[in-house]
Amino acid sequence: MRLGRYLLPFSAVLYGCANAQLINPNNITFGNPFNFWTKTQDGWDLTRGNHTNTITLPLPHPAGNVTIQPATSAMVIIDMQNFFLHPDLGGDPLGRALVPTTIDMIHAFRTNGMKVLWTNWGLTDFDLTTMPPALFRGFSSDGTSATSFGSDMGTIQGNISVGRKLMRGSWNAQPFGDLLDEQVGGVANGTDFYFNKNRLSGMWGTSTPMQTFLQDGMITTLFFGGVNVDQCVWGTLLDSYYKGYDVILVDDISATTSPMAATGMVDFNAALNGWRANSTDIIPALSVS
């Protein structure tokens, strides 16, 4: 039995037990022997005692600085797919506008040896047999089940077969635009990893493929971006928070088609569950590390 599957995050077993001050007269250690943060004078240390090659991110007031361990940190890109972004499919222009900044973040993470994780809708026919009715209704184009998950979306631009809605391997489920080359190249080079999901959250369930990867790689700190920020991004971040990961929402690589109040809810709660930041807070710190 692999303890890493049950004591989350497992990295703290290696790094934390010898370094954590379990009885701290100043009450600056938060958590438990296997998973803890340390409060510093100007922010938070999320390294769980592994201080090799750490990076400090100067996050906006009142969050304060956050010190991370690159070896246990990753960027999570959620649902930046043709289905949600391509203009010929009615995709969100706000989401498309995120692409250049998202790519800048990807490159900064790779340069520092930090993993880039892609989690996108990618259904199988078996998934369709177990999908609850609420999700089928939510992804219907005309209020009938005939246009929901798995339905043939026809062609665009005369010769592009859009494929079955959000099914694994279909064109509509591929990363949008230049992100496809980034994802394919990153996976080939071993810097990026791709995970299909069958719910809004990429961390839904007892052990998703992405969660298994995080546990095996002893990754504890996650940076989130993508679309929609109040739906799939929020769901993945929230499930990660529930499962004991450090969660940091990157505002300027996240967007939604929902009313502004939905983003406000996410912003408020993400700051309570973890931190909010912009790429302008993160990339300069990664560039000088």
**Residue 5: what pLDDT?**
41
**Residue 67: what pLDDT?**
97
Sign of CA dihedral 275, 281, 282, 286: negative
Cα distances (angstroms) measured from residue 20 to each of 5, 36, 46, 54:
21, 8, 12, 17
Chain centroid to Cα 148, Å, comes to: 25
Q: Could you write out the DSSP letters of every residue in 162-178? A: --BTTBTT-GGGSBPTH
Query: How far, in Å, CA of 152 to CA of 163, rounded?
Result: 6
Chain centroid to Cα 145, Å, comes to: 29
C-alpha angle 144-147-151 in degrees, rounded to nearest 5 = 140
**Residue 23: what pLDDT?**
43
Query: How far, in Å, CA of 118 to CA of 192, rounded?
Result: 8
CB atoms within 10 A of CB 132: 9
**Residue 3: what pLDDT?**
41
Q: List the chain pLDDT tens, one digit each, 289 residues.
A: 344 443 444 444 444 444 444 445 567 999 998 899 999 999 999 999 999 999 999 987 778 899 999 999 999 999 999 999 999 999 999 999 999 999 999 999 999 999 999 999 999 999 999 999 999 999 999 999 999 999 999 999 999 999 999 999 999 999 999 999 999 999 999 999 999 999 999 999 988 999 999 999 999 999 999 999 999 999 999 999 999 999 999 999 999 999 999 999 999 999 999 999 999 999 999 987 6
**Fold held by 1-122+168-289:** Rossmann fold (3.40.50)
Query: How far, in Å, CA of 181 to CA of 221, rounded?
Result: 25
What 8-state DSSP symbol labels residue 203?
Answer: T
Query: How far, in Å, CA of 198 to CA of 203, rounded?
Result: 10
Query: How far, in Å, CA of 101 to CA of 252, rounded?
Result: 8
Rg (CA), the chain: 19
Cα distances (angstroms) measured from residue 182 to each of 69, 238, 248, 262, 277:
24, 26, 22, 29, 23
Give strand pairing partners of 250: 277
Cα distances (angstroms) measured from residue 119 to each of 152, 268, 272:
22, 24, 24
**Residue 289: what pLDDT?**
62
- Domain map (residue ranges) of the chain: 1-122+168-289, 132-167
